[in-house]
Structure 1
Amino acid sequence: MPEHPCRALPALLTLVGALLLARTGEPAALLAAIPPFLVGRGVADITGEPAEAGMMGYASPRQRTSGIHLRQRSRAFVVVDRDSGHRVALVTVDLAMVFTAVRQAVLRRLALSLGNHYGDANVLITATHTHAGPGGFAHDTLYNITTLGHLPRTFAAIVDGIAESVERAHRDLAPGTVSLARGELHDASVNRSRRAFERNPAEERAVFPSGVDPTTTLLRFDRDDGPIGVINWFATHNTSMTVDNTLISGDNKGYAAYHWEREVSGVDYRDGRPGFVAAFAQTNAGDASPNLNLRPGSGPTEDEVENTRIIGLRQYAAARRLWDGPCEPLTGGVATRRSNVDMSRLPVRAEFTGSGRAERTGDALLGASFAAGSTEDGGGGLPIFREGVDANPVVRAVSEVLYRLAPTLRRRHAPKDVLLPPGVLGWTPRVLPLHLVRVGSLHLVGVPHEVTAVAGLRLRRTVARELGVSPRDVLVAGYANAYAGYLTTPEEYDQQDYEGGHTMYGRWQLPAYQQEFARLAADLRAGRPSAPGPRLPERFRDPVRLRPGVVLDAPPPGRRFGDVVREPAARYAPGHRVLVVFVGAHPNNDLHRGGTYLEVQRREDGTWRTVADDGDWSTRFRWSRWGLAASRIEVSWDIPPGTRPGEYRVTYHGDARDLFGRITPFRGVSRTFTVS
């Protein structure tokens, strides 16, 4: 990493302290110059079932995992205020969303492994919102429908990996500094719901001339031995990969993190040593698409994989410019406030509603435009539904009857065309967590929703006003701690495009959040605890599981597990693709969390050294059925430019299940080939 004014700060403070001690003889002078924080970082694998698992995000029953392009990871930073001892864990996960059940299970594991250091108040878990990972890790029925129920092994992999990343960050704690930089990025997002955005007041629209929030924010962590990592926030949907993709991937934010860690910093995820950690997190991305041509998989090119790389690289490049420029060292400690609210029946005071009277949120209802999906991002919609208020006349007619029979329903949810009542059915959460985190001058508003740009602006301004700080010092941390759809402004809600139809608790949902976050901010400023609110569920009923597990693996007649049925060519050049096909077994038998299903190896001094695995961008691991009980495994490697000439081979690691449930590992090895 290049030398940077913030990087030298911990060592400079130590040197200044030593000089002060020599001059004054006062230990207090030395203590005053010690870095104000303890900081630690950790990264861990959270990849779930890579075969036949319904994928989370697009809600398409046909999108089921068939392998891995990039492994999903959890990235954690722990910051401790050395003066007060207060701490917070900031966790970014390559998931479509975080569910309450996941966070509660993580907290239970952390309590067992790390005692009372981490709990409900000081662990903020946010998702990048990739749509390229296995689902089935919710305990809320609505989000398990298209995955055919709960997937316990995926759930366990996610929980174990998140907890592991926090445990590693905790063990890594050492004196350090935290600094902040801000900039703008203008070619990695576009407003996908412009007509809803245009309903907002002109003053708010003027803040975002292009219709999206271009702010990119960097939080960097440094210690005496150098920089240890960053968190970057930027608002764009993590949907460069389309509904046609069935390989697990962290999408554009996952690639941005991978590029900085693996390709720039040389981190080896499997060597067990702390390395540079780069988390690319979400903020108010509810109406921001990476598909710059407003078509799935389109923009800046017509290749979804290349788009993923380009949009990821643009986020990295913007973050790196901040890294290389001026930064603001943070002081002032760490503080958090947490509270739960019952969003299905929350009174909202007139000072927040804008209607001139008190209002109330309602039970979660989904509008007909929700079923239309987000056409710009390929959101798995049904063609019989359309986005927009009054765009679905049959549902509108039924809704008008409901609204006449129940005026309070109209007051809370109109003009939504009511399609499905998941709240009444118990399919979605009623009680949701709110989280406010301060690290120095930066305040994070943890919201369990997909927040649009203007909704985020209103939240930030509300919190900033209550705290007496600038809105630039307040940042929305979306997809945080739980998930319950979108958060739009009342004006955007009235348009009833996809985002408004998925704003489940009604027209007054955003004012309700403004009210409650104003309460948390007032508590934080006054130094008093916040009312905890209703309890989140601690126990969950055993979720429905409709998909059978692996019964038996058996190779085709005349074959053995690990046999190579397509060998590589004898010679390749950089830029070419190597393809090897193996007789395999079902990959769900062992998820190889923290490991790999494949290795690309180079011969060095008579031994084989791994140069790529299934967590690398250059490789793809594909599974398909071969008859009834056999599996076909395709391993490909796109040879990167600059690859060293030499002798290479491809290795596959599989695990076969017999009729008695016993799992036996095996290995397949290709013939050698030359890269020249």
Structure 2
Amino acid sequence: MAPRLVVVAVLLLAAPLCSLAQAVKDDDNTLYAGVAHVNATLPLGVPLAGYNHGDRRVPYWPIPNNTAYTTFMTPSVGVMDDTNVRCLALRQGNTRAFIVTADAIGADGTLRKLAVVEAQRMGSNATLETVTLHASHSHSGPGAVSPSFLWAMAPATDLLVPELQFQLAVSIGQAIVMAEKAMVPASLGVDISLLPNVTVNRRAKISPYLQPDSIDPNLGVIRVDDLKGNPLATIWNFAIHGTCFGPDNMKVSSDIMGGVNNLLVKNGGVGVTMFINADAGDIDPAPQTCQGKPNYNGAPTIANAIIKTRKAIKPSANATFRIASEVVPFGPTNLNVTLQRFENCTSGGPLDICTLCEVIHCDLNLHLGSSWIENAPRFTAIRFDVDGSKTLMVTMPGEPLSELGTEVRIDGVGLGFDRVLLAGYSNNHMGYFATPDEYDIGGYESQLTFWGIDTSKKVRDACRNIGAKVIN
């Protein structure tokens, strides 16, 4: 969509919204929910984020390839399947929450802020404190939408193209507005089941602490219906990397997670489907899961598990929710770049950090500021109470390894919650969060743990603190 047409679309959406705050009395404790689905596929030629090697990189750098949207990366050549933005809007009295999912590599904080501004211009009541943005972590989704220079230069998202960032922000804003406008009295329920055998731990080959089946099997499902029992939304929360397609794929795709969503919609009875990734920092899809792509042999197994879990949930019109959100400054990075820590690195070309380190014999700590990478993430906790059961959903601003995910779940239960949903890749994207043992071992995830050996503690403490704000 051209920028001028985007502005027209914004104005048209804003006109009928009026004041949603007046539509429901502030003292009404009824749970209201609305859902929206927006095709957010960016123009042909957008770089595909997620890989820094293979067909994704231009072969002769620093000579630019003179394309409309790429600098260091090869332009995409087509669309295998659309990338989408979806939103679930919730309201109860004066309490609001907007849960937004996007088929993207990461949830950039700047994009999120711009999207909230656009939603507000269209008449929405959304705020930075009430909107959570969750990236699916597809490695074939759009790049060039984040200003973080480190991501542009290292793991390959390419330099920011403001036109693309604005177009995606408008799509997110539209989804927020449409979901808010569509709110009706609703019922809600939450449960967690176990889904083994579709993922593997990719660090098992280098870590003595892990086996291939050292995964997070928790499949969280949030069911939302209207009061007649018609499905509004199904949120599924699971730890899996979007890497069924490798760097040789040059077509836009939402990867395995999008394949599952498409299958769920085809089967029917689930409403709008929304995927929230979890502690997938070291969790890949199993080889058999990706076979048959783009149909994905593992997609029916995942979809059937989601449907089964959803059917077992008894949603309640008396469900309640609470939300808390705060910014936690991490400060400059403490990236320990040494040849010893990079011994498990696989070089991907002349631009990757492993090759550069070998050339200049690096042995230093890099203290990079916010112009390089986001360092003041927003943590958000949403509490759902259904028939006496308390569920915590807590955001994590990057890629937590499964060990950290286990620790955060234990902390949540210790606070008094009955179950915990981990929302990784949410609100910001600040790299990997390796636990101390895995950090010392090295490897890709360790190398991209930017705040040193204490990174996972920073994340864990922030999750526990924000969780505590909604338990009392």
Tell me if both proteins adopt one fold, taking TM over 0.5 as the criterion. Answer: yes
TM-score bracket, shorter-length normalisation:
0.7 to 0.9
Shift of 1:100: 1.2
Equivalent residue number for residue 87 of structure 1: 96
Shift of 1:373: 9.2
- Secondary structure of 1:90's counterpart equals strand
Higher relative CO (Cα under 8 Å, sequence separation at least 6) belongs to 2
CA offsets 1:20-75 (integer angstroms, 9 cap, x no match) = xxxxxxxxxxxxxx994111100102111222x32111123144300111111011
* Length, aligned pairs only: 420
Equivalent residue number for residue 114 of structure 2: 105
Q: In 1, Cα distance between the equivalents of 2:337 and 2:424? A: 20
Q: Residue 279 of structure 2 contacts residue 399 of structure 2 at CA under 8 Å; is this kept in 1?
A: yes
Please point out which of 199, 206, 213 is paired with 1:189.
199
Q: In 1, Cα distance between the equivalents of 2:341 and 2:305? A: 33
Residues 424 and 223 of structure 1: CA distance in aligned 2, closer, same or farther (over 3 Å):
closer
Q: Residue 42 of structure 1 contacts residue 165 of structure 1 at CA under 8 Å; is this kept in 2?
A: yes
* Alignment of structure 1 residues 249-648 onto 2, 5 Å: 249-261=253-265, 263-265=266-268, 276-290=271-285, 292-293=286-287, 299-300=288-289, 304-306=293-295, 309-327=296-314, 329=316, 333-344=320-331, 362-364=333-335, 381-382=348-349, 398-399=362-363, 402=364, 421=366, 423-424=368-369, 426-440=371-385, 441-465=390-414, 467-470=415-418, 473-526=419-472
- Secondary structure of 1:162's counterpart equals helix
Q: In 1, Cα distance between the equivalents of 2:371 and 2:99? A: 30
CA offsets 1:524-557 (integer angstroms, 9 cap, x no match) = 334xxxxxxxxxxxxxxxxxxxxxxxxxxxxxxx
- Residue 325 of structure 1 aligns to which amino acid in structure 2? A
Q: In 2, Cα distance between the equivalents of 1:325 and 1:368? A: 51
Q: Residue 105 of structure 2 contacts residue 142 of structure 2 at CA under 8 Å; is this kept in 1?
A: no
Shift of 1:147: 5.5
CA offsets 1:482-510 (integer angstroms, 9 cap, x no match) = 11101121111111111111111110011
Larger Rg: 1
- Residue 416 of structure 2 aligns to which amino acid in structure 1? G
Equivalent residue number for residue 29 of structure 1: none
Q: Residue 105 of structure 2 contacts residue 141 of structure 2 at CA under 8 Å; is this kept in 1?
A: yes
Q: In 2, Cα distance between the equivalents of 1:72 and 1:365? A: 35
Q: Residue 110 of structure 1 contacts residue 167 of structure 1 at CA under 8 Å; is this kept in 2?
A: yes
Equivalent residue number for residue 143 of structure 1: 151
Equivalent residue number for residue 229 of structure 1: 233
Please point out which of 128, 136, 146 is paired with 1:128.
136
Equivalent residue number for residue 9 of structure 2: none
Please point out which of 78, 81, 105 is paired with 1:70.
81
Q: Residue 284 of structure 1 contacts residue 453 of structure 1 at CA under 8 Å; is this kept in 2?
A: yes
Consecutive unaligned residues in structure 2, runs of 5 or more: 1-27, 59-73
Q: In 2, Cα distance between the equivalents of 1:222 and 1:140? A: 39
Q: Residue 224 of structure 2 contacts residue 315 of structure 2 at CA under 8 Å; is this kept in 1?
A: no
- Secondary structure of 1:144's counterpart equals helix
- Residue 200 of structure 2 aligns to which amino acid in structure 1? V
Q: TM-score, normalised by structure 1?
A: 0.57
Shift of 1:442: 2.0
Q: TM-score, normalised by structure 2?
A: 0.80
Q: In 2, Cα distance between the equivalents of 1:249 and 1:342? A: 34
Q: Residue 221 of structure 2 contacts residue 235 of structure 2 at CA under 8 Å; is this kept in 1?
A: yes
Q: In 1, Cα distance between the equivalents of 2:338 and 2:405? A: 22
- Secondary structure of 2:328's counterpart equals strand
Q: In 2, Cα distance between the equivalents of 1:343 and 1:133? A: 27
Residues 508 and 436 of structure 1: CA distance in aligned 2, closer, same or farther (over 3 Å):
same
- Secondary structure of 2:97's counterpart equals strand
Shift of 1:133: 2.0
- Residue 101 of structure 2 aligns to which amino acid in structure 1? T
Q: In 2, Cα distance between the equivalents of 1:85 and 1:224? A: 21
Shift of 1:438: 1.5
Over the aligned positions, Cα root-mean-square deviation in angstroms equals 3.1
Shift of 1:370: 9.4
Shift of 1:278: 0.6
Equivalent residue number for residue 551 of structure 1: none
- Residue 99 of structure 2 aligns to which amino acid in structure 1? L
Q: In 2, Cα distance between the equivalents of 1:47 and 1:168? A: 18
- Residue 383 of structure 2 aligns to which amino acid in structure 1? R
CA offsets 1:381-438 (integer angstroms, 9 cap, x no match) = 3499899xxx999589642xx4xxxxxx5xxxxxxxxxxx371593112222211122
Q: Residue 398 of structure 2 contacts residue 433 of structure 2 at CA under 8 Å; is this kept in 1?
A: yes
